[in-house]
Amino acid sequence: MFKKATSLFYENPKKLFLIDGLGAISSAFLLGIILVKLEAIFGIPASTLYLLAAFPVLFAIYDFFSYRTEKSNYAGLLKGIAIFNMLYCFLSIGFAVFHFDIITLWGWAYILGEVLIVVLLAIIELRVANRLKTLVKN
């Protein structure tokens, strides 16, 4: 599965920045607006949701600027966003554990679903970055 997905982005790694950026904007919107309005259903406090929503906003800005840079820098930029994404996943799980006593099953489903998607994307980003780095060396 990863080989096929990864091979799609070798030729045009810019698409990864676009996908990541759109995903980040979606996450920020869901966390900062939708889940806040449905706090009782998800059980995640608004203050935590706002804090978590701030990171995808920063990631979207990073992705936008990365999309606009020269091709020679893609490997490092992809590796950077992949690491940021993984750290964001750890932070999200950490907040969920911290709010274990109030988070609902729907809250867990959202957090774990988002983490799964972001981790899969980060793995693809790292694989493409490593492949691009190998191509540059050869």
Tens of pLDDT, residues 59-79:
999 999 999 988 778 999 999
104 — phi, psi (to 5°)? -95, 175
Q: Establish if 1 belongs to a structural domain.
A: no
**Residue 78 near residue 15, CB atoms below 8 Å:** no
Q: Establish if 66 belongs to a structural domain.
A: yes
pTM here? 0.91
Report which secondary-structure segment, H or E, holds 102. none
Q: Establish if 30 belongs to a structural domain.
A: yes
Tell me which residue range forms the domain holding 95.
6-137
Q: Establish if 11 belongs to a structural domain.
A: yes
* pLDDT per residue as tens digits for the range 23-54: 999 999 999 999 999 999 999 999 999 999 99
pLDDT of residue 2: 62
Report the number of distinct structural domains present in the chain.
Answer: 1
Mean pLDDT, to the nearest integer, of 83-105?
A: 98
Residue 18 CB partners (closer than 8 Å, separation 6+): 63, 67
Q: Establish if 50 belongs to a structural domain.
A: yes
Q: Is the pLDDT of residue 134 over 60?
A: yes
Amino acid at 34: I
The model's confidence at residue 9, banded by pLDDT at 50, 70 and 90, is: confident
Q: Establish if 70 belongs to a structural domain.
A: yes
Q: Establish if 75 belongs to a structural domain.
A: yes
Q: Is the pLDDT of residue 136 over 60?
A: no
pLDDT of residue 115: 98
Q: How far is CA 84 from CA 33, 66, 79, 102, 135, in A?
A: 22, 14, 9, 27, 24
Alpha carbon distance 112, 22 (integer Å):
19
